[in-house]
Amino acid sequence: MPDEKSVKPMTGRERVLAALKREPVDRTPVCNPTSVATVELMDLVDAPFPDANRKPEVMARLAATGYTELGFDTIMPVFSIIQESSALGCKIQWEQKDNWPTVKMREPIYETADDIVIPADLLTHQDTSCVLKAIEILKKEYGDEVAIIGKTMGPWSLAYHCLGVEPFLLMSLDDPDHTKRILDKLKKVTIDFGVAQIEAGADGLTLPDHATGDLVSGEYYERYLQEMHTEFCDQIPIPLLLHICGRTVDRMDYIAQTGMAAFHYDSKNQPGESMDIVQNRISLVGNINNPETLFSKGPEAVRQEVYKNLDAGIHLIGPECAIPLQTSLENLKEIPKAVRDWHAENLSEN
C-alpha cells in the first residue's frame, strides 16, 4: 500500500480516480460501482422506485444520498440493470418501491443474431436518456467533490435479457460462432451507451457482464468475452469497472489482462487470493457481503469485512453488488467509518 502520509488530502473524486489507476491515495476510497439505494433513503429524498429508475431528477436525487448521507466517494445513479434492455424493446416488470425492475426474460425479443437491430432511439429512449440526464445533473452538482460513476451493460448480460438465459446459454454450447455474432452485434449498445455517459459527465463506468461464476466458466470467459472486454477499453475511453458476480478467481487472470481499470468482485472470492491473482494489473473493488453481512448482521460484522479487504490491500472498498433495498443505513454508514478508522489505526502504528 502506498504511504498515505506523503499524499496531500484528496477529494473523493481525486481519490477514486487515483485508486482506479493504482496511484497513491490519502486513504482508500469507498466506492459503489452498483446501487446503494435503500427504501429509507427513497423516503428521505422522496425518490422511490420505480420513478427513481425512470425520471432523471428523481434518479439523481436518490443517487446523491450515497455521498450526502452515506459518505461514499462515488455517486452511481444507475440502480438497475435494465435501462438499455428497456430501450432495446424488452418487456419490463417495473415493480414497486421495495423491489427491483426486471426484464421479462420469458418473453425474449430476439432468437438469432439476424433479429438484432439496434433501435435509432437507443440513446433518446426514456430509460437511457434518464441515465444521461441524471449524470448531467450530478456532474453539475457534485462533480468537483466525488466521482460520478455510470453503468453500461455488457453484451453477455444483454443477451440474457434479449434472448432469454436458457436459450442463450444453450446456444453458447451448441453454436459458438452464432453466439459470438450475437455478442458482436450487442456490443454496440455497450459502447454507444457508455460513450454517451462519458459525454454526459461520468468519471467512470461500471460494466456488468453476467458471465457469473455459477453458470459460466473461466474458460468461457476467455473464449467469449476477454477480447471483447479488451476492445471496450479502447472504444470507451474512461476507467471501466467490470462487474461479474460469484466465484470468479478462475477468470481473474484473464480479466486483469483486459485493461479494465477495476474489477468489482464478489464476496465468494477471498480478498487475499484475489489480490495474489491480479498482481496489481487491475484495481479491485469490493467485496462486503450483501445478504449475510450488510443485510442480516450489524456494524461490527461490516467493519470486520472492511478491515479484511484493507488488510489485503484492496484498492477501493464497497459492497459486492447492488445492496438489498432493505439494508440498514447504520450498516452502510459503517463502511466509510471503518475505512477511516483503519487508516487512523495503521497510521498511528507506523
Partner 1 sequence: MGSTLDLGSRIELVPIDSHFHEITVALYEDEGPDGPEFRVHSYSGKTGTDGRIEFIREAMTILGGMERVGDGQTLRFPCGAQHLRACKRVFLEACKLTSGDGPPQPRPLAVFDKKADRDISAIPEGGGSYRVSADGSDDNTLRRLSVVCGGLVKLGDMSLVSEEERKIAFECGFDHHALTGLLLVRAPNVRAVIREEEETTSRGSLVAPSAQE
Q: How far apart are CA 251 and CA 46, in angstroms?
A: 41
Q: Which stretch binds partner 1 (CB under 8 A): 16-24, 52-60, 100-108, 114-122?
A: 100-108
Q: Applying CB under 8 A, which of residues 161, 185, 187, 251 lies at the interface with partner 1?
A: 161
Q: How far apart are CA 164 and CA 55, in angstroms?
A: 27
Q: How far apart are CA 242 and CA 182, in angstroms?
A: 20
Shortest spacing between CB 35 and partner 1, in angstroms = 7
Q: Applying CB under 8 A, which of residues 1, 7, 44, 191 lies at the interface with partner 1?
A: 44
- Closer of 53 and 315 to partner 1 (Cβ): 53
| DSSP codes, 125-155 | SHHHHHHHHHHHHHHHHHTTTSEEEEE---H
Per CB under 8 A, 246 contacts partner 1: yes
- Closer of 98 and 311 to partner 1 (Cβ): 98
Counting every residue written for the chain, the total comes to 350
Q: How far apart are CA 264 and CA 320, in angstroms?
A: 7
- Closer of 250 and 259 to partner 1 (Cβ): 250
Nearest 5 degrees, angle CA 263-CA 269-CA 270? 110
Cβ atoms < 10 Å from Cβ of 59: 27
Q: Which stretch binds partner 1 (CB under 8 A): 124-132, 231-239, 254-262, 325-333?
A: 325-333
Q: Are 58 and 52 in contact (CB under 8 A)?
A: yes
Shortest spacing between CB 76 and partner 1, in angstroms = 13
Q: How far is CA 232 from CA 54, 169, 267, in A?
A: 26, 22, 26
Omega cis (within 30) before 50 = yes
Q: Which of residues 66-95 bind partner 1 (CB under 8 A)?
A: 68-71, 80-81
How many helices (H) and strands (E) are present in the chain, helices listed first?
14, 9
The residue written with cell numbers 484493507 in the block is 310
Q: Which stretch binds partner 1 (CB under 8 A): 108-116, 221-229, 304-312, 319-327?
A: 319-327
Q: Which residues have C-beta within 8 Å of that of residue 165, sequence separation ≥ 6?
A: 105
Q: Which of residues 162-191 bind partner 1 (CB under 8 A)?
A: 165, 169
Shortest spacing between CB 349 and partner 1, in angstroms = 28
- Closer of 146 and 202 to partner 1 (Cβ): 146
Question: How many residues interact with partner 1 (rule CB under 8 A)?
Answer: 50
Per CB under 8 A, 11 contacts partner 1: no
Q: How far apart are CA 337 and CA 194, in angstroms?
A: 32
Shortest spacing between CB 47 and partner 1, in angstroms = 11
Shortest spacing between CB 226 and partner 1, in angstroms = 19
Q: Are 86 and 153 in contact (CB under 8 A)?
A: no
Per CB under 8 A, 43 contacts partner 1: yes
- Closer of 20 and 321 to partner 1 (Cβ): 321
Q: How far is CA 33 from CA 17, 204, 221, 289, 311, in A?
A: 13, 9, 21, 14, 21
Q: Which stretch binds partner 1 (CB under 8 A): 110-118, 254-262, 275-283, 288-296?
A: 288-296
User: Which x/- pattern, by CB under 8 A, does the window 106-145 give for partner 1?
Assistant: ----------------------------------------
Binding stretches for partner 1 (CB under 8 A): 34-35, 39-44, 46, 48, 65, 68-71, 80-81, 96-100, 102-103, 105, 157, 160-161, 165, 169, 210, 212, 214-216, 245-246, 290-291, 295, 298, 321-322, 324-326, 328-330, 333
